[in-house]
Structure 1
Amino acid sequence: MLRVGLTGGIGAGKSAVARLLAGHGAVVIDADQLAREVVAPGTPGLRAVVEQFGSHLLGADGALDRAALGAVVFADPDARRRLEAITHPLVGAQAAERMAQAPADAVVVYDVPLLVEAGLADRYDVVVVVEAPLEVRLARLAGRGLPPEQAQARIANQADDAARRAVADILVDNGGSLEDLRARVDEVWARLLAAHQPG
């Protein structure tokens, strides 16, 4: 199994790279998806979040209001640390379980936004970092409906490009078109296969 850590700043296009790698046959594990699953209604994770931050963060359906929670934790570093102390171990355990279920000869890509911040780089055989210029990232986030000040705050809360480059084995520039990205990911896949020793 080849373990690949895939990361990049918000708006860089990491998820697009993950989808393209999945199209090549990679087993993709999405940390954001796991983060949603571990705080789904009825889970110990959701109970712990409510105990820590209050039941006002629950919607009428009993699900976590992620936007309301995001507004709290992105404005308060201490609150963010308290949330991460709850969710990161749960997400890590789920990711390890999914990885263990992958075929022995698989290229497993763990799509994880906070790889650098959480000090996870050394857990992977290859680290792939996706980059895009700041103005491109801000435009993408605006297109998703994130106000500029919130987008800037989220970018400021993440590792900077230099810190991500420092752990990168492969750097993917995603400042251009989807066709450009597709060509770059084809090259990345070829490099991953070359690095892969089945078993």
Structure 2
Amino acid sequence: MVRVIKLEEITERLVIRPYTTNDYRNWYNQYSHCYPARNRFDEGKIDLSDYTEAWFDEMVNKHQQLIDKDVAYILGVFRKDDGAHVGVIDLSTLMRNEFQWGRIGYTILNTYWEHGYGKEAVKAVLDMAFTQLGYHRIEAHINMDNTASIKLAESVGMEFECVRRDFIFEFGEWTDHLVYFRNAKQRRTLA
């Protein structure tokens, strides 16, 4: 089992940590101010009518259970100066034992694009993955035409490895994904 010392990263402009039940209003307000979707990878403005405080509390509880089981680490990204919720990053354990292998996913709300928050947050969470959570390898699985996600992965030192054919069922079909990766050894040599 992985021993977690602290599950929080503080960068120059951001605080990245698990959600708490106190985050509901902030989370709700930021999602309610999103712009309409700008591309097929952007959720954009969503119908929040089912996303009650009780629903959020249950989500926070489920996230904590995933953390306790080392299945996934779902982390809110908050601006340090005003506490605004700007996005979410998740780490999922693909396999432990001799692999210590995980996957990273990231979303910055479209109202906060083009401020460098994605790069700052992903870089910090990769560091957390290697230093606190004991992963050796982290992959990002990216749609072939998701240029913004590709640029972000490359900007934090992730390397293109391969294309996984018919990798995930989304958008009504099996789709190919690019695989970018970074490992703990690279962290030491690139830091």
Please give the range of the TM-score, normalised by the shorter of the 2 chains. 0.3 to 0.5
TM-score, with length taken from structure 1:
0.31
**Which is higher, the Rg of structure 1 or of structure 2?**
1
TM-score, with length taken from structure 2:
0.32
Structure with bigger strand share is: 2
| Bigger relative CO (Cα 8 Å, ≥ 6 apart) | 1
Structure with bigger helix share is: 1
